[in-house]
């Protein structure tokens, strides 16, 4: 159980943590290869295979998250294709309750995402979650992704949070690992980032499926502090 009075800053990931990763998985694994194959009259199965290999090779690099990179690489515009799947962009269960409780708490709440600013804009417009954050940071602002120590260095310098009094929630184990190496004291993994995939067994971090329990603890701690 988390001691909320020890937490000053809450750092939150977006895709797979606050929003359903189903949209992103569908888009990158299925929709983009399919539409690229159509636009270039190529065999869909072959394109899907080639793109999967490319993704694999680029994992943990900022370019993998960079819309400009993919638009150059594939010679197409991503945003119109993303709009075709916009109906899949959804807030995960119990997230709004959690964000509401956080807003009423003593904690500073910062969104830390590897999402490109164009993707952020689209998701904010459709979900209205921007209002819950004191600050919003895209790793593209710093030129390093969250998997890299240089990101955390840049984030701490810019945001002046104390790693030992910070809670970070993310669905990526590689990113949580990087945050742990950097010294973020409190870490929680989301074990079902994609609503259409099974819950993952996670051993190296505390993990949650939904935010209910965390919200209940936070509300209790707030009530306690006010009494
Ligand atoms: Mg994520």
Catalytic pick among 6, 63, 68, 212: 6
- What are the residue ranges spanned by the domains of the chain? 4-21+90-226, 23-87
Find the 159 Cα to ligand 1 centroid distance in Å.
Answer: 20
Start-to-end C-alpha separation, the chain: 21
Q: How far is the CA of 15 from the centre of ligand 1 (A)?
A: 4
Distance 107 CA to ligand 1 centre (A): 21
Q: Is 43 exposed, middle or buried (0-12, 13-18, 19+ CB in 10 A)?
A: exposed
Q: Report the interhelical angle of 173-182 vs 149-159 (nearest 10°).
A: 60
Per-residue pLDDT of the chain (227 residues; tens, 9 = 90+): 788 999 999 999 999 999 999 999 999 999 999 999 999 999 999 999 999 999 999 988 999 999 999 999 999 999 999 999 999 999 999 999 999 999 999 999 999 999 999 999 999 999 999 999 999 999 999 999 999 999 999 999 999 999 999 999 999 999 999 999 999 999 999 999 999 999 999 999 999 999 999 999 999 988 888 77
Position 62 scores a pLDDT of 92
* pLDDT score at 224: 85
Cβ atoms of residues 211 and 94 within 8 Å: yes
Task: Quote the ligand 1 centre to 14 CA distance (angstroms).
Answer: 6
Q: How many CA atoms lie within 13 A of 56 on its CB side?
A: 6
What is the distance in A from the centroid of ligand 1 to the CA of 163? 20
Note if 6 is an active site residue: yes
Give 4-21+90-226's CATH code, choosing from 3.40.50.12780, 1.10.10.10, 3.40.50.1000, 3.40.50.300: 3.40.50.1000
Chain centroid, CA 99 distance in Å: 15
Spacing, Cα 42 to ligand 1 middle (Å): 31
Which pTM was predicted?
0.96
C-beta of residue 163 within 8 angstroms of C-beta of residue 183: yes
């Amino acid at each position: 159980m988390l001691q909320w009075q020890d937490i000053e800053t809450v750092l939150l990931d977006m895709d797979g943590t606050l929003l359903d990763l189903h949209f992103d998985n569908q888009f990158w694994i299925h929709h983009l290869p399919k539409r690229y194959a159509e636009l270039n009259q190529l065999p869909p199965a072959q394109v899907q295979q080639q793109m999967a290999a490319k993704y694999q090779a680029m994992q943990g690099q900022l370019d993998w998250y960079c819309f400009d990179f993919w638009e150059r690489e594939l010679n197409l515009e991503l945003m119109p294709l993303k709009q075709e799947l916009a109906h899949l962009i959804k807030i995960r269960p119990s997230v709004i309750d959690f964000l509401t409780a956080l807003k009423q708490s003593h904690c500073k709440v910062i969104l830390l995402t590897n999402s490109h600013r164009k993707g952020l804009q689209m998701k904010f417009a459709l979900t209205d979650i921007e209002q819950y954050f004191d600050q919003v940071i895209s790793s593209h602002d710093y030129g390093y992704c969250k998997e890299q120590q240089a990101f955390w260095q840049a984030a701490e310098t810019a945001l002046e949070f104390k790693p030992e009094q910070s809670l970070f929630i993310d669905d990526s184990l590689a990113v949580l690992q990087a945050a742990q190496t950097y010294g973020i004291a409190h870490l929680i993994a989301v074990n079902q980032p994609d609503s259409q995939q099974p819950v993952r067994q996670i051993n190296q971090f505390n993990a949650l499926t939904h935010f209910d329990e965390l919200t209940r603890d936070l509300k209790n701690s707030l009530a306690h502090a006010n009494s």
